[in-house]
Amino acid sequence: MRGDGGVFELIMQLVIIALFAWVFWRIFETAGKPGWAALIPIYNIIVFLDIIGRPVWWIILLFIPIVNVIVGFIVALDLSRSFGHDLAFALGLFFLGFIFYPILAFGSDTYRGPAAAT
């Protein structure tokens, strides 16, 4: 009988989910929002859009294929600017999120307000 690693894969997926829940919890708290909001599907996107200063209806754009890629980059850029970073950091968030989101969450960056609102 061949072991397909199903249990190991499940454990690894749960670890990754828990890590990113913790990362977004920290980002939300740094931005003055409740950390638990990161755990609630859909609501976490609404809070995230509020953090960067985008209207709630942008959630619809995130569900449209192709458009969601463009909007995803704009969201990464707004998040980067909301924490005082530039385009280079936004590119890191967009392409290497597994590295740059934890840097944002656990680094010494401070939230400077919603970048898109200005």
Quick: pLDDT tens for 86-108. Answer: 999 999 999 999 999 999 999 99
Listed residue (55, 104, 52) closest to 73, CA to CA: 52
Residue 112 confidence (pLDDT): 95
Residue written as token pair 């944002």: 104
Residue 49 confidence (pLDDT): 97
Residue ranges in the chain modelled with pLDDT below 70: 1-4, 118
Judge whether 53 and 77 are in contact, CB under 8 Å. Answer: no
Judge whether 28 and 47 are in contact, CB under 8 Å. Answer: yes
DSSP state of 62: T
Cα separation, 93 vs 112, whole angstroms: 17
